[in-house]
Amino acid sequence: MTHAIHPSLAVVLAGFVACAALVGSGCRPNEEGDAMTAPSEPNTEDPQSQPPAPDAAPNDAGAGGDASGDTAVATFAAGCFWGVEARFRNVPGVVDTEVGYTGGHTERPTYKQVCTGTTGHAEAVRVTYDPDEVAYEALLDAFWNMHNPTTANRQGPDVGSQYRSAIFFHTPAQEAAARESKAALRASGRWGEKPIVTQIEPAGPFWRAEAYHQRYLEKQGLDTCGT
C-alpha cells in the first residue's frame, strides 16, 4: 500500500531541492577549510552509544524507535547531511535533529576520515520526532522526496559511499514500514525502470559529527545547500 503525504508536508516537500556541491568526490571544497582545521584525533565529541537492538521490546511510539518520553528516533542517510538535516527540521512534528556518521566500522570517526570513504560510514541525520504529530511513514515520504534513491553512492555531484541512500531502522515496525514504503515506491513507476538502491539496515552506533556540522546551513543563513 502507498502512504499519502501528510497535508502539512506538501508545502515543505514542494520546496525541497537536491543538495548541490562543487566537486564530484571527497571533501567538498567549501567544507575543506573547516575540515582542515578540525581536530585530527578521533572524534570524541558526544559519541553516541549503540541504540536498542531491532528486536528490543516495542515502545508506545508504534513505528517509532528508541523512544524517550513522548518522542521517537529515526535515522536516514540521503547524501550531504547538511541539506538532509535542514529539510527534516522543516517537517512538522520533528522535535530535533543531529548529523553524524553511522553504518561504518571505525570508532569515533572524524569528518576527514569519513571523507576518504574508507570507514564505511554514511553521512546521516538522526531525527527525533513526536509520533503524535508526525508518523514514521510521513518521515519516509519526506526521505524519498528529498533525494534520488536510484544512484548508488552518489547524490548529484557528491560521490562516495558516505553519500549513499540508506534507512537505519530502530525497531521491527520501522523496518517493516521502510520495506513496504520502498516496495511501494518501486511499484509506483516514479523512477521508471531504475532500481531503488536504498539500503535498509539496523541502526548501529551513531557518532555525532563535529560541532561545526550541526545545523550548518542554518548557521550560514541558508535554506538549502544550493541557495
How many Cβ atoms are within 10 Å of 184's Cβ, its own excluded?
15
For 127-182, write each residue's pLDDT tens digit: 999 999 999 999 999 999 999 999 999 998 899 999 999 999 999 999 999 999 99
- Summarised one tens digit per residue, pLDDT across range 172-206 is 999 999 999 999 999 999 999 999 999 999 999 99
19 annotated active-site: no
Rounded distance, CA 53 to CA 174, Å? 12
Amino acid at 76: F
Overall fold of domain 7-219: Peptide Methionine Sulfoxide Reductase; Chain A (3.30.1060)
Query: Cell numbers of 19, please?
Result: 543538495
How many helices (H) does the chain have, and how many strands (E)? 7, 8
**pTM of this prediction?**
0.75
Question: Mean pLDDT, to the nearest integer, of 65-77?
Answer: 82
Q: 88 and 75 in contact (C-beta within 8 Å)?
A: no
* Helix extents (H) in the chain: 7-14, 29-37, 81-89, 111-115, 136-145, 172-188, 216-219
55 has pLDDT over 60 = no
User: In sequence order, what are the residues at sequence separation of 6 or more whose Cβ sits closer than 8 angstroms to the Cβ of residue 90?
Assistant: 12
* Better-scored residue on pLDDT, 48 or 108: 108
Backbone phi, psi, residue 158, to 5°: -85, 115
Mean pLDDT is lowest, of 42-56, 175-189, 201-215, for: 42-56
| C-alpha dihedral, 208 to 212 to 218 to 224, nearest 10° | -80
Instruction: Name the active-site residue from 19, 80, 115, 225.
Output: 80
Give residue-wise pLDDT tens across range 84-122: 999 999 999 999 999 999 999 999 999 999 999 999 999
Closest of 107, 75, 100 to residue 210, by C-alpha: 100
pLDDT at residue 46 tops 90: no
Joined grid coordinates for residue 7: 497535508
Other CB atoms within a 10 A radius of the CB of residue 159 amount to 18
Three-state secondary structure readout of 98-149: EEEEECCCCCCCCHHHHHCCCCCCEEEEEEEECCCCCCHHHHHHHHHHCCCC
- In this predicted structure, what is the pLDDT of residue 205? 97
DSSP 81: H
How far apart (Å, rounded) are the C-alpha atoms in residues 109 and 134? 32
Grid cell 520546496 — which residue?
15
